[in-house]
Structure 1
C-alpha cells in the first residue's frame, strides 16, 4: 500500500506543480487575469502563489512534512476559490457557470488536501522522508 499511496501523491500534486510552473513562467498573462479579478498587487500574488503551490506540492510528494504541505494546499485552494472564482459576481451566464465549476473544483481539491493531511497525521501515507510536522494521531 505504500507504493499506492506514493502514486496517489504523485498524481495529486501534478496539477499543483504544473500550476506553480505556469505562475512562474507565464507571469504576465497570469498577472493580467489576477488584476481582472481585483487582486492587488497582482504580480506579487501570482509569483507568491506559484512559489507557495510549488513548495506545498513538493512537501506532499516527497513526504517531507507532508502534513504541512497538505495544509498549505488547503489554504491556497480555499483562498483561490473565493478570490479568483467568485461566480456569484458574474453577470454573464456562461462565465458564471465556468467560474462555478472552478470554484467547486477548488473546494473539492481543498477537501482532498484535508484528507491527505489526515493520512499523513495518522501515519498511513507510507514512503515518507520525515514524520508529520504536527505529530501523529
Structure 2
C-alpha cells in the first residue's frame, strides 16, 4: 500500500512541478498571457502561482504535510479555471473548445486534490513520507 500511494503521489505531481517550474523560468511569456486574460499584476501573479505549484507539489511528493500541499494546489486550480479558462466568454469555436478542455482539466484536478487532501488528512500514517498530516479528519 505504501509503495502504491508513493507512486500515485509521484504521478499526480508531475504536471504541477513542470508547470510551476515553467511559471518561474518563463515568467515574462506567461505574464503576457495572464495580462491578456485581465489578471491584475500579471508578473507577480505568475511568480506567486509558480511558487504555489512547486511548493504544493513538493509537499505531496515528499510527504511533508501532504494534506496542506493538496490544498495549496486547490487554491491554484479553482481560480485558474475561472479566471484563465473562461470558455463561456469565447466566440471562436476552436478557442472555446480549447478553453473548455482546460477549464474541465483544472476542475477535475481540483477535485482529485480535494480527494487527496481528505485521504491524507484521514490517514495518520501514510508511510514513505517525511511527516504525517497537518490536519485531522479522524
The normalised TM-score by structure 1 is: 0.96
Deviations 1:63-122 (A, max 9, x none): 100000001111110011000000001111110010000000000000100111111012
Equivalent residues, number: 137
Per-residue deviation, residues 11-31 of structure 1 (Å, max 9, x unmatched): 100100000010011111101
Task: Say whether residues 1:97 and 2:63 are aligned partners.
Answer: no
In the alignment, the residues of structure 1 paired with residue 49 and residue 110 of structure 2 have an alpha-carbon distance, to the nearest angstrom, of: 15
**SS of 2:129's equivalent?**
coil
Maintained 8 Å contact 2:126/2:132: no
Mapped to 2, the partners of 1:24 and 1:89 lie a distance apart of 28
Runs of 4+ in 1 over 3 A off after TM superposition: none
Which piece of structure 1 moves more, 26-35 or 119-128? 119-128
Paired with 1:103 and 1:126, the residues of 2 have a C-alpha distance of 34
In structure 1, the residue matched to 2:5 is 5
Assess if the C-alpha contact under 8 Å between 1:6 and 1:125 holds in 2: no
Give the Å deviation of 1:136: 4.7
Alignment check: 8 A CA contact 1:59 1:69 kept: yes
Q: Is the 8 A contact 1:119 1:125 kept in 2?
A: no
Aligned residue runs from structure 1 range 1-137, under 5 A:
1-123=1-123, 125-137=126-138
TM-score normalised by length of structure 2: 0.96
Q: Which runs of 5 or more residues in structure 2 are unaligned?
A: none
Unmatched 5+ residue regions in structure 1? Answer: none
User: More displaced, 50-59 or 121-130?
Assistant: 121-130
